[in-house]
């Protein structure tokens, strides 16, 4: 039970449509339940705002990803995350609906807020069959990594679950494995990570890279749900450990190896020689206390080191993932954009296929495929196009989905070479709707490079951007763009003719700039 002194320091005054109103002089994590389903976790002071001058009374609004479900009624409770003690309980009603609130995705899987603020199917909502399948896949990936020449171990939340509880954490949503390279320079660590990714990919798994020393493996559960398994690389710089994710601490080599084992869901998994030392490096001295709302507070020194050595391959990806996660269960837009109609007209006139770069959720790509056009949709957020893939499969549409990151020269050159050596070349139309104002200067240069390779046998690029995109309020990254610079890049990449025109948008919205560039055959 929670001690009397602690309980006297906390009082949840009310929970209603406006959020939580409470009184607290201490900071502890709590869970919010709808029925028996944990939907949200927060700290009493860190994640709340003060009400009044003293700062003792606090308020927390419902998190944005959860707000779209708040229409109906439920039996709610607020419980201490460590002990499970109930701090508040009662009926809640939102809006005019009388139906019971169900926080589920379009497939019916129950959702909970994970540590990164995403509403996802956490382990506490999955069946034991699903969890057993994920653990088996984790062991298989560990085995492949070992054959690749490294000594991997479970890490972060997976390590915490194995050591502290012997099972996966109910509030966690993915599996993590890591290894500490024998190399001691960042460039060699990166090269090794890319080599290991190829090994895992050749095993039949879909992979996605998000830094120079970390990549994700897509693992499919029994019900078809795809869950990510992260592979983090690291190295020892004398007696200091750097491990992708959040670790940069003094660390003794004997705390790492030889690896030992711990039980996870009844299965032996590899862990560091002193797992408690690794968990302290990852979560701090309080790692033994359950905290579903844990937030990493990485020292600036570590952030700068990891950024300089390994990051930079996927700028803004977290923001884009949150953007798409919020919209995951919404139907795709039925009407095409005006630019998609332009691309369709160009493709029909040329007998061309369409390459939709930065396709987002794929509304335009699906519409174009429904017109009978052959379409390849590209995006660098792996799950953005899931719904488009499902529709294409169900309707038999000529739509292919591929990954492309304008931040990675490897990605651009690899995909450009594949297109350039296609066995049956066709003219192509490249569609880029608000891609150039969503990437940086390097990304715009890489886009021109991609077009020069994809259109080596002729074609056209149709693009729209907002020159002052960074000034407009939006949850999507936007940057200011000089259209003249884009035109110069396209011409240098082989465009023969480039036209620029202003396109009026809806009332109150700043006009867009449309660029059309033609590459000769």
| pLDDT, average across residues 341-364 | 95
What pLDDT shows up at residue 407? 85
Number of structural domains found in the chain: 3
The CATH number of whichever domain residue 421 belongs to comes to: 3.40.50.150
Residues 180 and 244 in one domain: yes
Residues 297 and 359 in one domain: no
Check if the beta carbon of residue 447 is closer than 8 Å to that of residue 415.
no
What pLDDT shows up at residue 476? 62
pTM of the model: 0.69
Residues 292 and 216 in one domain: yes
Where do runs of H (alpha helix) occur along 210-310? 253-256, 275-283, 300-309
- In this structure, how many other beta carbons lie within 10 angstroms of the beta carbon of residue 233? 28
| pLDDT, average across residues 18-23 | 93
Residues 296 and 382 in one domain: no
In a domain, 55, yes or no: yes
| 253-269 per-position pLDDT tens digit | 999 999 999 999 999 99
Domain final position from 258, 284, 313? 313
**Above 90 in pLDDT, residue 357?**
yes
Distances (CA, A) of 489 to 343, 458, 497, 515: 21, 17, 12, 12
Instruction: Give the pLDDT band of residue 130 (cuts 50, 70, 90).
Output: confident
Instruction: Give the pLDDT band of residue 468 (cuts 50, 70, 90).
Output: low
Instruction: Give the pLDDT band of residue 2 (cuts 50, 70, 90).
Output: very low
Residues 200 and 256 in one domain: yes
What pLDDT shows up at residue 471? 47
What pLDDT shows up at residue 241? 96
In a domain, 474, yes or no: yes
In a domain, 48, yes or no: yes
**Above 80 in pLDDT, residue 103?**
yes
| 221-257 per-position pLDDT tens digit | 655 566 778 999 999 998 999 999 889 999 999 999 9
Query: Among 190-204, 299-313, 314-328, 442-456, which is the least confidently predicted range?
Result: 314-328
Residues 148 and 277 in one domain: yes
| pLDDT, average across residues 465-487 | 73
Helix (H, G, I), strand (E, B) or coil at 222: coil
The CATH number of whichever domain residue 67 belongs to comes to: 2.60.40
**509 closest CA partner among 432, 434, 431, 430:** 434
Tokens of 215: 């990549």
Residue 156 phi/psi, 5-degree rounding, is 45, -130
In a domain, 148, yes or no: yes
| 477-507 per-position pLDDT tens digit | 677 889 999 999 999 999 999 999 998 876 6
Query: Among 118-127, 198-207, 364-373, 499-508, which is the least confidently predicted range?
Result: 118-127
Where do runs of H (alpha helix) occur along 48-176? 64-67, 128-147, 156-160
Q: Give the gyration radius of the chain's Cα atoms.
A: 25
How many angstroms separate the CA atoms of 420 and 515, rounded?
A: 23
Residues 267 and 374 in one domain: no
**Above 70 in pLDDT, residue 183?**
yes
Structural domain boundaries enclosing 308? 123-313
In a domain, 116, yes or no: no
Exposed / middle / buried, residue 436 (Cβ in 10 Å: 0-12, 13-18, 19+): buried
Residues 330 and 242 in one domain: no
Instruction: Give the pLDDT band of residue 333 (cuts 50, 70, 90).
Output: confident
Residues 289 and 216 in one domain: yes
**Above 80 in pLDDT, residue 172?**
no
Instruction: Give the pLDDT band of residue 127 (cuts 50, 70, 90).
Output: confident
What pLDDT shows up at residue 473? 47
Helix (H, G, I), strand (E, B) or coil at 475: coil
Residues 307 and 388 in one domain: no
Q: Which of 81-90, 129-138, 165-174, 176-185 has the highest mean pLDDT?
A: 176-185
256: left (phi over 0), alpha (psi -120 to 50) or beta: alpha
The CATH number of whichever domain residue 152 belongs to comes to: 3.30.460.10
In a domain, 292, yes or no: yes
- Where does 222-271 show beta strands of DSSP type E? 226-237, 240-243, 247-250, 260-264, 267-271
**Above 70 in pLDDT, residue 174?**
yes
**Above 90 in pLDDT, residue 205?**
no
| pLDDT, average across residues 42-52 | 92
Residues 68 and 95 in one domain: yes
| pLDDT, average across residues 323-336 | 74
Query: Among 274-288, 326-340, 465-479, which is the least confidently predicted range?
Result: 465-479
What pLDDT shows up at residue 421? 87
Domain final position from 40, 69, 103? 103
Domain final position from 296, 313, 330? 313
In a domain, 385, yes or no: yes
| pLDDT, average across residues 403-417 | 90
Residues 140 and 273 in one domain: yes
Percent of the chain scoring above 90 in pLDDT: 57
In a domain, 499, yes or no: yes
Exposed / middle / buried, residue 242 (Cβ in 10 Å: 0-12, 13-18, 19+): buried
What pLDDT shows up at residue 293? 81
| 430-464 per-position pLDDT tens digit | 999 999 998 888 899 999 999 999 998 899 999 99
| pLDDT, average across residues 290-316 | 81
């Amino acid at each position: 039970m929670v001690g009397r002194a602690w309980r006297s320091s906390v009082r949840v005054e009310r929970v209603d449509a406006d959020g939580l109103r409470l009184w607290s002089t201490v900071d502890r994590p709590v869970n919010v339940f709808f029925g028996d389903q944990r939907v949200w976790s927060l700290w009493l002071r860190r994640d709340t705002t003060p009400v009044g001058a003293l700062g003792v009374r606090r308020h927390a609004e419902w998190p944005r990803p959860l707000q779209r479900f708040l229409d109906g009624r439920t039996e709610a409770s607020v419980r201490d995350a460590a002990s499970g003690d109930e701090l508040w309980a009662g009926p809640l009603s939102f809006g005019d609906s009388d139906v019971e609130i169900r926080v589920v995705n379009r497939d019916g899987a129950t959702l909970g807020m994970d540590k990164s603020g995403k509403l996802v199917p956490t382990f506490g909502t999955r069946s034991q069959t699903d969890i057993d399948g994920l653990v088996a896949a984790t062991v298989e990936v560990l085995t492949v990594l070992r054959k690749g020449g490294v000594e991997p171990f479970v890490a972060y939340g997976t390590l915490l679950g194995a050591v502290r509880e012997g099972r996966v954490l109910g509030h966690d949503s993915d599996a993590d494995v890591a290894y500490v390279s024998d190399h001691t320079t960042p460039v060699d660590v990166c090269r090794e990570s890319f080599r290991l990714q190829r090994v895992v990919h050749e095993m039949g798994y879909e992979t996605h890279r998000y830094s120079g020393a970390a990549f994700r493996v897509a693992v499919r559960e029994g019900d078809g749900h795809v869950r990510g398994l992260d592979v983090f690389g690291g190295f020892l710089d004398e007696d200091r450990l750097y491990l992708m994710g959040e670790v940069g601490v003094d660390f003794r080599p004997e705390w790492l190896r030889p690896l030992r084992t711990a039980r996870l869901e009844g299965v032996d998994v590899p862990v560091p020689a002193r797992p408690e030392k690794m968990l302290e490096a990852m979560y701090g001295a309080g790692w033994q206390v359950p905290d579903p709302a844990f937030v990493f507070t990485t020292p600036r020194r570590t952030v700068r080191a990891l950024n300089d050595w390994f990051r930079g391959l996927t700028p803004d990806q977290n923001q884009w993932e949150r953007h798409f996660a919020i919209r995951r269960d919404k139907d795709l837009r039925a009407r095409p954009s005006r630019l998609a109609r332009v691309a369709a007209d160009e493709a029909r006139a040329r007998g061309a296929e369409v390459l939709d770069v930065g396709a987002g959720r794929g509304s335009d790509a699906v519409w174009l495929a429904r017109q009978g056009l052959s379409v390849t949709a590209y995006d660098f957020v792996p799950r953005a196009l899931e719904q488009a893939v499902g529709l294409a499969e169900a309707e038999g549409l000529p739509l292919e989905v591929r990954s492309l990151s304008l931040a990675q020269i490897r990605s651009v050159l690899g995909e450009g070479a594949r297109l350039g050596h296609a066995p049956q070349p066709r003219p192509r139309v490249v569609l880029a709707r608000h891609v150039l104002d969503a990437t940086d200067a390097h990304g715009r240069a890489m886009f021109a490079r991609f077009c020069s390779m994809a259109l080596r046998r002729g074609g056209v690029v149709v693009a729209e951007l907002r020159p002052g995109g960074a000034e407009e309020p939006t949850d999507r990254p936007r940057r200011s763009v000089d259209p003249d610079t884009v035109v110069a890049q396209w011409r240098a990449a082989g465009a023969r003719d480039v036209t620029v025109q202003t396109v009026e948008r809806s009332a109150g919205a700043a006009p867009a700039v449309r660029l059309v560039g033609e590459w000769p055959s």
